[in-house]
Every structure is written in C-alpha cells, then in structure tokens.
C-alpha cells in the first residue's frame, strides 16, 4: 500500500511529528464536522474578503492576539476595539491558541479515534482553512491533520473537497503527500479519486512530485489495478519531457501489455527506442518485449528476452519477481518443464509471499 513515508520519509516524519506536537489551536462553538458544501468554491473566494469569519481566532506571535479575518494580502486583527491590519508577507511567526477541547481532539487523533477527532477539530478547521497559505504559521499542519482524520474516518467527500481547494505551493506542500494517502483510501473504498491526482502540480518545469506518482502507480500495479496505473503514467507522460516522459512511456507500455493492449504497447516501445544496459528500466523493457512475444506465441523469443532482462536486472527492482514468473511459464509453455520448475523454486525461495510467487503456485 502506498504511504507518503515510503516516498519522502524525512518530510513525512517531520509532518507527523508536527501533527502530534500541536498545542496551538482554537475550537469554536460552530456545528461539528466540516460540510463539503460549506466550503468556498475557490481559493480566490476563500481569501477575497475578511468578512467570512464569524468568530475571532486567538493567536500568538504577533502584536495583536485576536485574528478576525483576511483578504488576499492582509490579515485583520481586533485590538482594544480597533482593527489592525498586518501584511501577510510580513508575518514571521503566528500560532493559533489552544483550548482543552482542541487538545482532546489531538489526543483522539493520536489514539486513532478519528470520528471523535473529526467532530472536535472540524469547527476549528473551518476557520483555519482560510489561512493555510500564510507563511510561518501552523495552519496548514492543522488542516492537514483534520484531512487525515476525515480520510481515516471514511469521510471522503469532505477530505476531497478540502484537498481540491487548498493551494499546493509553498506552505501548502504538506498537502501533496496527503493527496496520495486519501486517493489510496478512496480507491480501496471504490470511490473515484482521479480528480485528486490531477491536482498534483506536474510540468516539464516542475517534476518534484513525479516520484510520488511513480510510487503510487507501482502500488496500483501490485494490487492489479492496471487501468488506474495506466492513467497515472499517461498523466506523467503528457505533463513532462525528457527522462520522466521516457520512464512514463515504458510503464505505459507495461500497463498496456498487461491489459491486452498489444498494438499500443508495441507503439510505445517503438517510441522509447533502444535502451542502454546501464539504465534502470533496461530489464523492464525486456520484460515487456518478452510479454509481447508470448502474446504472439513466440515462446523461444520470449525466453531469450526475459533471460536477457534477468541477467541485467537488480534483484531489488520491483519487477524482478515478475521476471522470474514470466521465465518459469515461458519455459513451461516451450515444453522445458524441468527448467520451469527450477526457476519456480528460485522464485519461491527469494520471494515467498510475493504476488507472482502465489500466482505461479495457483497456476500449477
């Protein structure tokens, strides 16, 4: 299963330590739970006027303690009956004050009582949501914890609505790993999650999240969600160039051949062209070619190509077990049962609990 920690361990560790260390929120008296339809329709709407805020937020770190609202570039505070304006880009440190109810919400989150955490954090999150782009505050971390609680309580509509709204640049970077965690939970619940994935900013100039895409797509393939994985590869392929596009093209070819798209897979491999032995996906390229040969019932070519892939593969690559599986069934289909059995034994010894090991055993 995909987790943000698997891709970005240091940042994920910092994020979750921050969540557990929160001691600076405010919980107001609004109705519990954030209702998706109550959210602003866009981030521009969320920031265009400070009149949205019904109750002040108590904050520390700035010269006025009662935050009453914002617009696109200014924070508004109440201090001794007067309204004070502070430019957003001048904020050096601002934290939201805590109450005992808010602390109980954090405790419930830590204790994995997510429904209670949602109920207690929701009213606060509704207010703080409008400040997630303000630098040097804990607003984004607070809202991110609430989204985590929503997802784990299976409140997907609300979690998705927030993630589709918040900015993902600068302070909002913390939400990108969360997009993938929520998307995985939605997929397991048989909910459509591709709108979330399309939100992840990827372009030839911005490839910082391609690694997240890779890990998420590989986790989909491991769970046989081939069509979904293909959509991820297509997104990366269309949005990038150079090595990232080439990588996505190879994996698209793999997904196509797994789902029976032989002609399309052949076209994609032709686009990739020949690879150097030193390239990480060299062995994957020959795994795909071997599958294509098998589809054309050319088992001798299938054996030669998968053997070439195995020779140049790293045993730690994600597709190594599949190569052994493919080698075993190709030898069997070519009538070389003894070699097929030896390869199968090797697969079982190296990867006893792997999907491809279990599949080979089922196929006998």
Number of domains into which the chain is organized:
1
Angle in degrees, CA 174, 175, 178, rounded to 5: 110
Task: Return mean pLDDT, the chain.
Answer: 83
Residue whose entry in the numeric block shows the structure tokens 């003894």: 338
Most confident of 42-56, 132-146, 337-351: 337-351
Question: Taking residues 236-241, what's their average pLDDT?
Answer: 90
Give yes or no for residue 116 having a pLDDT over 70.
yes
Q: What is the per-residue pLDDT for 59?
A: 87
Q: What percent of the chain has pLDDT over 90?
A: 43
Residue 98 has pLDDT above 70, yes or no: no
Is residue 140 assigned to a domain?
yes
Q: Does residue 269 fall inside a structural domain?
A: no
Lowest-pLDDT range of 30-34, 129-133, 233-237, 258-262: 30-34
Q: Would you say 96 and 26 are in contact if contact means Cβ atoms under 8 Å apart? A: yes
Is 134 among the domain residues? yes
Tell me, yes or no, whether 82 lies in a domain.
yes
Instruction: Please name the residue that has the structure tokens 């053997």.
Output: 307
- Which strands make up the sheet holding 66-70, listed edge to edge? 82-87, 74-79, 66-70, 57-60, 95-96
Dihedral sign for Cα 37, 38, 44, 45, please.
Answer: positive
- With respect to residue 341, please indicate whether it lies within any of the assigned structural domains: no
- Secondary structure of residue 69 in the 3-state scheme: strand
CB 295 within 8 A of CB 262: yes
Query: Quick check: is 157 in a domain?
Result: yes
Q: 23: domain range?
A: 1-194
CA 206 vs CA 174, 203, 240, 261, 312: distances in Å: 16, 5, 8, 30, 31
Q: What are residue 273's phi and psi, to 5 degrees?
A: 75, -170
Banded model confidence at residue 259, pLDDT cuts 50, 70, 90: confident
Please say if the pLDDT value at position 360 is more than 90. yes
- For residue 33, what pLDDT is reported? 39
Q: Decide if 168 is inside a domain.
A: yes
pLDDT bin (cut points 50, 70, 90) of residue 28 is very low
Note whether residue 260 is domain-resident. Answer: no
Phi, psi of 259 (to 5 degrees): -100, 10
């Amino acid at each position: 299963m995909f987790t943000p920690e698997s891709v970005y361990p240091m940042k994920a560790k910092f994020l979750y330590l921050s969540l557990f260390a929160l001691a600076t929120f405010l919980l107001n008296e609004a109705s519990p739970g954030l209702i998706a339809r109550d959210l602003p329709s866009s981030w521009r709407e969320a920031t265009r006027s400070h009149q949205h805020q019904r109750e002040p937020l108590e904050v520390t770190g700035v010269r006025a303690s009662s935050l009453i609202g914002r617009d696109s570039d200014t924070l508004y505070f109440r201090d001794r009956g007067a309204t004070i304006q502070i430019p957003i880009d001048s904020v050096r440190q601002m934290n939201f004050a805590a109450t005992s109810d808010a602390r109980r919400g954090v405790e419930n989150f830590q204790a994995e009582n997510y429904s209670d955490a949602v109920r207690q954090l929701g009213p606060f999150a509704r207010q703080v949501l409008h400040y997630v782009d303000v630098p040097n505050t804990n607003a984004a971390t607070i809202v991110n914890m609430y989204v985590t609680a929503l997802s784990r309580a299976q409140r997907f509509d609300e979690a998705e609505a927030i993630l589709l709204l918040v900015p993902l640049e600068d302070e909002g970077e913390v939400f990108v790993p969360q997009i993938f965690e929520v998307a995985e939970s939605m997929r397991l619940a048989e909910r459509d999650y591709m709108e979330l994935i399309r939100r992840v900013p990827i372009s030839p100039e911005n490839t910082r999240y391609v690694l997240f895409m890779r890990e998420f797509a590989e986790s989909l393939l491991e769970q046989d969600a081939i069509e979904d994985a293909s959509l991820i590869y297509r997104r990366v392929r269309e949005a990038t160039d150079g090595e990232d596009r080439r990588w996505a093209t190879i994996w698209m070819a793999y997904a196509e051949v797994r789902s029976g798209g032989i002609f399309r897979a052949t076209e994609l491999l032709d686009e990739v062209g020949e690879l150097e032995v030193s390239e990480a996906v060299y062995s994957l390229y020959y795994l795909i070619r071997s599958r294509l040969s098998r589809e054309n019932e050319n088992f001798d070519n299938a054996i030669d190509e998968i053997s070439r892939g195995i020779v140049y593969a790293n045993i730690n690559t994600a597709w190594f077990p599949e190569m052994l599986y493919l080698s075993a069934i190709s030898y069997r289909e070519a009538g070389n049962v003894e070699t097929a059995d030896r390869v199968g034994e090797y697969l079982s010894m190296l990867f006893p609990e792997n999907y491809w090991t279990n599949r080979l055993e089922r196929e006998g």
